Amino acid sequence: MSFSSLGISDPLVCAVNHHAAPTPVQTAAIPVILAGGDVLATAKTGSGKTTAFVLPLLQRWWRSAPHKKPRPIHTLILVPTRELAAQVREVVQEFSHHLPERIKVVSAVGGVSINPQMMALRGGADIIVATPGRLLDLVDHNAVQLSGLSSLVLDEADRMLDLGFADELKRILTLLPESRQTLLFSATCSTTIEAMALDLLREPTRIDVDSGPKDAPAIEQRAIRVDSDKRTPLLRHLVGTLDRKRILVFVAKQYTADLVAEKLQRNGISASSFHGDLSQGARHDVLSDFKNSQIQVLVATDLAARGLDIVQLPVVINYDLPRSATDYTHRIGRTGRAGEVGVAISFVTAESHAHFCLIEKRQHLNIAREEISGFEPSETIPLPSPDNGGIKGRRKSKKDKLREAAARKERGK
């Protein structure tokens, strides 16, 4: 199977000739999108979802003559984060390089001044890649007109809902023509995503790419038992012994990211933090330095768990465990991409032991626990508690609290 056999024209095939053969999600989605159909696609991180919609949408734009001035917006791509917006924009520009006509792509994201984006939209745009909040800011400033839109893409739709963009999405949808093509791509397909699809899509083609073991990336998963207060010294030890140019470390809080990065720096390790409190310019600079190996260790919150495509990222370390099994998949999915072999290491403390067991259970894993000489744990693993809230660790979930309240009310009758 080749891209040309899927209906992609020669100029766009030239743009992807350095890529491997189409992935399953690309093979399934591209012909449907070229034909103008709606798509609901669920595929794991790193499966090639961006290429699956960018290639056919570029071809549809190219063949939608004439291209007027001012340019009516042909495609709107909504994404949850600034980093994903930058990545998608880069893909669009890369793939459109060989087209006979020059395309105008504008990225509209928050965290930076709105004025340059308003200036960029003067004269219109062919494709806008935007976060929901900033797009609405531009609408309120009369800088963008969406009534003539041909295609809408919701990329990482599950993540957009997780980040609380539901109200913004509803408002945006009221501004769009009903006759548009709508593509919904997501790493997971919850009941909320299914409900959204019913509201937005017209007779969509449902694509659910198998993410079983045969399709799993080559990631060696390790779990190291360690006391909480020894995690940073152990991290310094691993940075030295692994001898890798780039290591991505996930933590739970912004404060922890700054603190761990600072401690690594004090020990002569090139490190930086990455989280939502950084300005857009600072985030761009940090990512650029990390991709260029000027920074060896990037200490990040889950902001980096999706939408970052870092070539040849060999190691991911969970300094703090993620809150859910799904987030665990997205975190370790930053490594082992594009056929590369990766290593994912999780620090398992006595307190987080039960939580890691639940992640293993939900991911059908059985990872042997290791102990590193000089960092053997002394903390005792607590006995299982009847108040355990489930996958989120020892904290009770909202559902658990509601059940307990209902039970107390029932007993009081």
411 in a domain, yes or no?
A: no
Tokens of 257: 């990211």
Question: Burial code of 340-377, b = ≥16 C-beta within 10 A, e = fewer?
Answer: eebbbbbbbbbebbbbbebbbeeeeeebeeeeeeebeb
Closest CA to 249 of 299, 283, 286: 299
CA dihedral 230→343→265→283, nearest 10 degrees, is: -120
Name the burial class of residue 222, with classes exposed (0-12), middle (13-18) and buried (19+) by CB atoms within 10 angstroms of its CB.
middle
Total number of domains constituting the chain? 2
pLDDT of 394 above 50: no
For residue 392, the model assigns a pLDDT of 46
140 and 261 co-located in one domain: no
245 and 195 co-located in one domain: no
278 and 313 co-located in one domain: yes
Tokens of 168: 């913004």
Q: Are 147 and 97 in contact (CB under 8 A)?
A: no
102 in a domain, yes or no?
A: yes
CA dihedral 229→231→236→240, nearest 10 degrees, is: 140
174 and 242 co-located in one domain: no
What integer best gives the mean pLDDT of the chain?
85
**Which residues, 6 or more positions from 26, have their beta carbon under 8 angstroms from its beta carbon?**
3, 6, 48, 51, 52, 55
Q: Are 152 and 176 in contact (CB under 8 A)?
A: yes
For residue 245, the model assigns a pLDDT of 84
Question: What is the rounded distance in angstroms from the CA atom of residue 277 to the CA atom of residue 284?
Answer: 13
Domain stops at, among 175, 208, 241: 208
**Residue 250: which CATH number?**
3.40.50.300
Closest CA to 312 of 330, 338, 284, 286: 338
Closest CA to 233 of 375, 353, 351, 352: 375
131 and 237 co-located in one domain: no
The highest-confidence range among 185-194, 270-279, 329-338, 369-378, by mean pLDDT, is: 369-378
407 in a domain, yes or no?
A: no
Asked if the peptide bond before residue 31 counts as cis, ω within 30 degrees of 0, the response is no
Which of 149-153, 302-306, 314-318, 395-399 is predicted with the least confidence, judged by mean pLDDT? 395-399
Domain stops at, among 208, 234, 255: 208
* Angle, CA of 347, 353 and 354, to the nearest 5°: 145
Tokens of 138: 């531009």
pLDDT digits (tens, 9 = 90+) for 28-54: 999 999 999 999 998 877 778 999 999
119 and 56 co-located in one domain: yes
180 and 37 co-located in one domain: yes
Domain stops at, among 208, 230, 251: 208
204 and 264 co-located in one domain: no
pLDDT digits (tens, 9 = 90+) for 96-124: 988 888 899 999 998 889 999 999 999 88
CA dihedral 123→125→126→128, nearest 10 degrees, is: -170
Which of 37-41, 310-314, 401-405 is predicted with the least confidence, judged by mean pLDDT? 401-405
pLDDT band with cut points at 50, 70 and 90 for residue 386: low
For residue 358, the model assigns a pLDDT of 93
379 in a domain, yes or no?
A: no
319 and 186 co-located in one domain: no
243 and 95 co-located in one domain: no
**Which residues, 6 or more positions from 35, have their beta carbon under 8 angstroms from its beta carbon?**
none
189 in a domain, yes or no?
A: yes
182 and 95 co-located in one domain: yes
232 and 193 co-located in one domain: no
147 in a domain, yes or no?
A: yes
Domain assignment of residue 246, given as a range: 217-370
327 in a domain, yes or no?
A: yes
For residue 200, the model assigns a pLDDT of 87
389 in a domain, yes or no?
A: no
Mean pLDDT for 395-402 is 57
pLDDT of 138 above 80: yes
